[in-house]
Chain A
Amino acid sequence: MSVAIVDYGSGNLHSAAKAFERAARESGHDQPIVVTSDPGQVARADRVVLPGVGAFADCRRGLDDIPGMIEALEQTVRQRGRPFFGICVGMQLMADVGREHGVTPGLGWIPGEVDRIAPSDPNLKIPHMGWNTLNMLKPHPLLTDIPLGPDGLHAYFVHSYELKAAQRSDLVAQANYGGPLTAIVGRDNMVGTQFHPEKSQKLGLKLIANFLKWAP
């Protein structure tokens, strides 16, 4: 059993790795957490985590720059059906296309586009930066035992773009910021969060622990 956190030059993998290690240890689902840029290791992993910080186009370029990485992801996640967790831009990359710094193709795993957020209240600042509650649209194993809704736990967001899913059935949870924002998407063995679970204290560690025992 191993969890591969894909390292493609998109910063801050240290905190992600530490959060996964801690969640693994504390939840009793201890398994090796490997930060790797080796497509072979990704192809052999039992679970795959795709983090991502920065702009969509840069992140896509980072993935493309590692020979064989896109193929390894396709193989492990799409063909072998291993549980996949995209974080922030790693989640946005699941879409068909991103519109940050030009038009860039995504992985095409979740139909939809990544576009700039546009809160209805002009006084709301962009980026959407800080803590927000989550509204569940459909139950998901990753949300087990996590209090949600207006009185629930909070998740930490930092983003100016969101994944606008074409199919409502792919939306697991939203946050409200001058209108609904995509917070979690999920389809089959794939899940993605716009917020940073590795920075979301209790909610984040619980979500990661749920991912580590998820058997889709």
Chain B
Amino acid sequence: MFKVRVIPCLDVKDGRVVKGVNFVNLRDAGDPVEAAIAYDAAGADELCFLDITASHEKRDTIYDVVTRTAEACFMPLTVGGGVRTVDDIRKLLTCGADKVSINTAAVDRRAFVKEAAEKFGDQCIVVAIDAKKVSKPGEKDRWEIFTFGGRKQTGIDAIEYAREVVSLGAGEILLTSMDRDGTKSGYDIPLTRAIADAIPVPVIASGGVGTLAHMVDGIRDGHATAVLAASIFHFGEHSVREAKVYMDKAGLPMRLDP
């Protein structure tokens, strides 16, 4: 039977793990490879690294992290953050990433998604969508794509954009609600559901997990096929296995291999 995926996400800066609240106040929380090994052992279904290294000189640190992770963990790994060229993708895949997530580069130039998918296959091209609600209370729900960590409004409708990148070859959508990210108030369920129901490829719900029940909501009500979370796991509030057992008890199909 096909199972729901639980994906811990590690924000990595200069080769170290960090997690911010609404992308500010970053905290250092250790070696990404050690964290990856721990998540592997805890039964994570995939792992996601988001590279938020700003300085150009330190961009190569992520390749080392990915290489060392792939040597130690035999689980699927998605890497995103600053992926702008076909060569960036090739390097990450060569180091051992299975999927690469593209964000701003796809907003800036949609053809990049097509080039990447044609080169490496749809299955390894994830498009990360950062969306924020722009409709007023009482209006029909509408979300737009935001870039620069939620600061820059693009005017692009999130649902139309999701349909477009999928038609260009995105094999999966990593959907983050910028309204919810870091708030611990749960995924934006109407957003998740609107996107998941609009496209044929899997959607990973992201942004806002505060409780294990939120993860159930993301799948059951948001129609996502996978849930991504960071701080709830990363600061030890819950283990990945606890989350999966909880979701299993809630009636979702979970992989609980020993």
Q: How far is the CB of A205 from chain B (nearest CB, A)?
A: 6
Closest B residue, CB atoms, query A205:
B74
Docked-complex contact B98 and A12, CB < 8 angstroms: yes
Q: How far is the CB of A197 from chain B (nearest CB, A)?
A: 8
User: For chain A, which range describes its interface: under 10, 10 to 19, 20 to 34, or 35 or more residues?
Assistant: 35 or more
State in angstroms the CA–CA spacing of A199 and B172 once bound together: 18
B-contacting residues, A1-24, CB 8 Å? 11-12, 14-15, 18-19, 22
A175 vs B1: C-alpha distance when bound (angstroms): 7
B contact residues around A199 at 8 Å (CB): 74-76, 98
Residues in B neighbouring A129, C-beta threshold 8 A: 123, 171-172, 202, 225
- How far is it, in angstroms, between the C-alpha of A46 and the C-alpha of B202 when the chains are bound? 40
Task: Say yes or no for A125: interface residue by CB 8 A criterion.
Answer: yes
Interface string of B57-88 (1 = CB under 8 A from A): 00000000001001100111000000000000
Cα A204 to Cα B75 in complex, Å, equals 10
Q: How far is the CB of A154 from chain B (nearest CB, A)?
A: 5
- Within 8 Å by CB of B255, from A22, A55, A154, A158, lies A154
A89 to B144, CA, bound (A): 37
Q: Is residue B32 within 8 Å, beta carbon to beta carbon, of the partner chain? A: no
Q: Given the complex, which residues of A lie within 8 Å of B257, measured CB to CB?
A: 153-154, 201-203
Chain A's closest residue to B226 (CB) is: A130
Q: How far is the CA of A154 from the CA of B74 in the complex (A)?
A: 13
B70–A15 touching, CB < 8 Å: yes
Give the residues in chain A near B76, CB-CB below 8 Å: 156, 158, 196, 199
B-side contacts of A127, CB under 8 Å: 122-123, 171-172, 201-202
Interface flag for A176 (CB, 8 Å) = yes
- Asked if B149 CB lies within 8 Å of chain A CBs, one says no
Who on chain B is nearest to A123 by CB? B223
Bound form: Cα–Cα A204–B73 in Å: 12
Is B96's beta carbon under 8 Å from chain A?
yes
Q: Does B200 contact A (CB under 8 A)?
A: yes
CB <8 Å contact, A154 and B3: yes
Interchain CB contact under 8 A, B74 and A201:
yes
A54 engages B120 (CB within 8 Å) = yes
Please state if A53 and B45 are interface contacts (CB–CB under 8 Å): no
- Is residue A132 within 8 Å, beta carbon to beta carbon, of the partner chain? yes
A58 to B94, CA, bound (A): 17
Contacts of B123 on A, CB cut-off 8 Å? 53-54, 127, 129, 158-160
Q: Which residues of A contact B235 (CB under 8 A)?
A: none
If the complex has contacts A14-B95, A125-B225, A132-B2, are A200 and B74 also in contact, measured as CB distance less than 8 A?
yes
How many angstroms from the CA of A199 to the CA of B105 in the assembled complex? 28
Max chain B C-beta neighbours (<10 A), residue from A15, A58, A150, A153: A15
Whether A18 and B70, one on each chain, are in contact in the complex, defined by CB atoms closer than 8 angstroms, is yes
Query: Which residues on the A side are within 8 Å of B99 (C-beta)?
Result: 158
For B119, the chain A residues whose CB sits under 8 A away are 54
CA distance A175 to B3 in the complex (A): 12
B30 at interface (Cβ–Cβ under 8 A)? Answer: no
Judged by a CB distance under 8 angstroms, whether B178 is at the interface is no
For A11, A156, A198, A199, the residue with the greatest tally of chain B CB atoms inside 10 Å of its CB is A11
Q: Per-position contact with B for A134-174: 1 when CB-CB < 8 Å, else 0?
A: 00000000000000001001101011100000000000000
Q: Name the residue of chain B whose CB is nearest to the CB of A152.
A: B257
CB distance from B167 to the nearest CB of A (A): 13
- Indicate whether A12 sits within 8 Å of B45 (C-beta atoms), given known contacts A129-B202, A133-B1: no
Cβ of A126 under 8 Å from chain B:
yes
Is B128 part of the binding interface, using a Cβ–Cβ cutoff of 8 Å?
A: no
A131 CA / B254 CA spacing, docked (Å)? 9
Other-chain contact of A130, B90, B203, B225, B258 (Cβ < 8 Å): B225
Chain B interface residues toward A at CB < 8 A: 1-5, 40, 45, 67, 70-71, 74-76, 90, 93-99, 119-124, 171-172, 200-203, 225-226, 255, 257-258
Please, could you name 15 A-B residue pairs with CB atoms under 8 Å apart, sorted by A?
A14-B95, A15-B74, A19-B74, A22-B74, A53-B93, A54-B121, A126-B200, A129-B172, A154-B255, A158-B99, A160-B122, A177-B2, A196-B76, A196-B98, A200-B74
